[in-house]
Structure 1
Amino acid sequence: MIPKFNEYKERFQMESKHTIEPGLGAITHALEKVRNPQQNLKFIHVAGTNGKGSTISMMNSMFQAHGVKTACFYSPCFMDVHDQIQLNGENISPQQLDFVFLQAKEAGLSGLLTDFELLTVLAFMAFEQFQPHIVLLEAGMGGRFDSTNVITPVISVIPSIALEHEQFLGNTIVQVASHKAGIIKEGIPVVVGPLEESAEQVIFKETLKKNSPLWKLNQDFSFAHGMYKNSVGHQISHLTVPLPGPHQLDNAALAIRSVIYVIENLNININEELLRRGLKEAFIPGRFEKITDTLYFDGAHNPASARALVNTVKEVFPNTPIHFYVGMIKGKDAKTVLRIFEEISSNFTFVDFEDERSMPSSALSKISESPYSEVTKEPLESILKTSSKTHVTIVTGSLYLLSEMRLRALQLFGIF
């Protein structure tokens, strides 16, 4: 469910399919009906398990610092459907979304697509009207059969590969990697982050098949101690990554490598100072996002992102007690996620939230091994009662939970 999306569907009497059908046939047919807007755009396509949103956010900020007109498609939303489609860093307006919805309705798209496929088409239509220099496109699930995979990008980016969406992508890293490798196109460069050997082999074989240059982190380019280097002679020092956690240095490296390639492709000169400023100003909601000094939001919803969150906490709060508030979607590997969180905390509150796919807090409590756990339907009220300067509270588990809570939390603490 995409918050506020149904309001538009009801207003324009648009229907969508409720089951996911693998393949690109439906969206290809729908795009033909609206004259293939994606063919008039340049894309960076980003697929992977974790790090997609952060990498796009950093790229977007560096592009904008150079005066490059951007559009972004994120998945899932942070607050509601409007922030999934961004034009030069601004959420699409209700008027702009109304306009493309009306066009989609008149083109006869009702009932042809799933919600995500329909949103992808609407995004392409909005982007064509906006005419950005570059579109930063985040794949939804997988890559090969994801509805975003109907484009030919300028460059493809894969930050990470780990087990996720096993019911759709498979139960092994090799199977998941095969889906991610599907975004690799003939002759188009591919930038990859740190991958397990089995996943890297899948990507490598796909690049050989497609005659695509492969640029690997810590082999063809690197980022350490504020210094970026690559094998074609770029060296940029005094860089600051504003997003916390050691994994964000890897994402920053991928972002810089991609931005340098695309800016050169656009025949614009790289300005090191603009690159520094752009990277430093990058921000993404729900990625170890500080609400107050003792309250953070992080959308760690699978084992790999849970591990990244725990590593970040160890780095930022090495000797501070942690209280986790956790809500998750059904189908996620909640047991493994909780075991990872339990490495650094024994205090948990499990949260019920309004989504038809949400996992009951009581079910989470049963699989927890924490000696101190409780459940709640009112997490913010609970946080206010239990807040203390002696411990840090982290709300995590699902981006849908975070999107439900984030605005209320910012208003409650006088930030928004």
Structure 2
Amino acid sequence: MTYAETLNYLFSQLPMYQRIGAAAYKADLSTTIHLLHALGNPEKSSVRYIHIAGTNGKGSVSHMIASVLQEAGYKTGLFTSPHLRDFRERIRINGAPISEETVVNFVTENSAHFEAIQPSFFEMTAALAFQVFKDESVDFAVLETGMGGRLDSTNVITPLVSVITNIGMDHSQFLGNTIQSIAAEKAGIIKPEVPIVAGNMRPVALEVIRSKSKEQNSPLTLAPMFLPENIQTDLKGGWQQENLRTAFAALTLLSETFTNITQDALIKGLGHVVTNTGIRGRWEWLSRTPRVVCDVAHNEDGLGLVTAEISKEKYRKLLIVLGVVNDKDLAKSLPLFPKEATYFFCAAQIPRAKKAEELALEAAVFGLHGEVYPSVQSALQAAKALAHPTEDLIFVGGSFFTVAEVIPASQS
């Protein structure tokens, strides 16, 4: 198979949550465990794991930690999701996506297992990540959960440290309808006697984390309120300071055992996350003339932070290209958006996307008005045609998949 044929097989034959939603979700780890056993349990290698969960910020924190480990001289694997431009973004070694050949060979060699075991897309991808990290003999692997924690396919390892960035309302149909129930699912990554780092979160969520850490005899570290002045990150957006504090706390714990994680490695790694790891779509400027910025935030808490960031910008007119997925609670997130903006409603090219016409109708209830467009690209082009080259601001967002259709391919 070619790489394109392999991707077509993965996307069409395996249930993929990002594309179809609930039908791809499995409420236990049995398939993951079965698949990994068939592969010879690559997750049980000598790789040292850092495991990261959370409603928002877990991707940024994962990239921050990986960047510092790379600067410290460690061969570092990184597993995140979803991807923006290319499937291979999900699995990186020292910031570089795995090769097309690696993906093709893994699928070709193990297709019989896939037919027999019937994994989901994410279960297969997690298995590929574990296999790659073993084969590449990485020193560390940073694993971001796909959803929740307790039943996530990454939750089959014992890490050196577990990290929970924050807890908010998202994926309620799977994780529960309260902050406490969602926190309990995220807390499922806490392992006996393994240190746990908690980011800034609601007190009711933190209480769940505290209780689970006591039950597991796992030392709990809270992200600090303040950082040394020389600890900065190149990731843009005011909310990244919270992610920075969480990553710093986890790295400080690791540095007690791994002395290569020096102050210099911390400063360089946290200051060069984008160049070291290739992270995209976090308050990323796509253009300065006209001014176009995008962000992958997609739930109430994340969009609240993004709309607050928008309000800090100076502009004459605000134009928002907005596309969302079907299973989000728009009654909570749409009121966060500014009424004075002009909206360009669209839908990403995935089955799970909410139709632009439906989004426009729901948005109108909250005083958000604009036109409907047949694609994300056409919506962006229409916004650019209306925008002043320097005085107006265009924001593109609402979901990972909306951003994926406008973000340029990586130059690396």
Normalised by the size of structure 1, how large is the TM-score? 0.88
User: Is the 8 Å Cα contact of residues 12 and 102 (structure 1) preserved in structure 2?
Assistant: no
Q: Using a 3 Å threshold, how does the CA distance of structure 1 residues 371 and 134 change in structure 2: closer, same or farther?
A: closer
Match for residue 257 of structure 1 among 249, 268, 271: 249
- AA aligned to 1:16 is L
**C-alpha deviation, 1:103, in angstroms:** 3.1
User: Is the 8 Å Cα contact of residues 117 and 147 (structure 1) preserved in structure 2?
Assistant: yes
Which residues in structure 2 correspond to 1:265-280 (within 5 Å)? 265=257, 267-280=258-271
Task: Give percent identity, aligned residues only.
Answer: 30
**C-alpha deviation, 1:360, in angstroms:** 0.7
Which residue is 1:244 aligned to? 236
For residues 37 and 170 of structure 1, what CA distance do their matches in structure 2 show?
A: 32
Kindly indicate whether residue 106 of structure 2 is the aligned counterpart of residue 100 of structure 1: yes
User: Is the 8 Å Cα contact of residues 285 and 292 (structure 2) preserved in structure 1?
Assistant: yes
Q: Using a 3 Å threshold, how does the CA distance of structure 1 residues 259 and 7 change in structure 2: closer, same or farther?
A: farther
User: Is the 8 Å Cα contact of residues 31 and 117 (structure 2) preserved in structure 1?
Assistant: no
Q: Secondary structure at the match of 1:215?
A: strand
Which residue is 2:222 aligned to? 216
User: Is the 8 Å Cα contact of residues 168 and 301 (structure 2) preserved in structure 1?
Assistant: yes
Match for residue 16 of structure 1 among 14, 17, 22: 14
**C-alpha deviation, 1:92, in angstroms:** 1.1
Q: Which runs of 5+ in 2 are unaligned?
A: 16-22
For residues 10 and 65 of structure 2, what CA distance do their matches in structure 1 show?
A: 34
- AA aligned to 1:138 is E
For residues 87 and 106 of structure 2, what CA distance do their matches in structure 1 show?
A: 14
- AA aligned to 1:30 is L
Normalised by the size of structure 2, how large is the TM-score? 0.89
Q: Using a 3 Å threshold, how does the CA distance of structure 1 residues 5 and 109 change in structure 2: closer, same or farther?
A: farther
- AA aligned to 2:97 is N
Q: Secondary structure at the match of 2:78?
A: strand
Aligned length: 391
For residues 262 and 167 of structure 1, what CA distance do their matches in structure 2 show?
A: 35
Cα root mean square deviation, aligned? 2.3
- AA aligned to 2:185 is H
**C-alpha deviation, 1:260, in angstroms:** 2.8
After superposition, give the CA deviation of every residue in 1:99-135 in whole Å (9 maximum; x if it has no partner). Answer: 2223322545555211111111111111111111111
For residues 250 and 352 of structure 2, what CA distance do their matches in structure 1 show?
A: 35
**C-alpha deviation, 1:21, in angstroms:** 2.2
- AA aligned to 1:400 is F
Q: Using a 3 Å threshold, how does the CA distance of structure 1 residues 392 and 113 change in structure 2: closer, same or farther?
A: same
Q: Secondary structure at the match of 1:269?
A: coil
Q: Secondary structure at the match of 1:348?
A: strand
For residues 10 and 179 of structure 2, what CA distance do their matches in structure 1 show?
A: 41
After superposition, give the CA deviation of every residue in 1:266-289 in whole Å (9 maximum; x if it has no partner). Answer: x33332223212111112211110
Which residue is 2:50 aligned to? 44
**C-alpha deviation, 1:334, in angstroms:** 2.0
**C-alpha deviation, 1:391, in angstroms:** 1.3
Q: Secondary structure at the match of 1:406?
A: coil
After superposition, give the CA deviation of every residue in 1:359-393 in whole Å (9 maximum; x if it has no partner). Answer: 01111111113364111121232133123222111
Q: Secondary structure at the match of 1:143?
A: coil
Q: Using a 3 Å threshold, how does the CA distance of structure 1 residues 13 and 46 change in structure 2: closer, same or farther?
A: closer
Kindly indicate whether residue 320 of structure 2 is the aligned counterpart of residue 346 of structure 1: no
**C-alpha deviation, 1:401, in angstroms:** 1.5
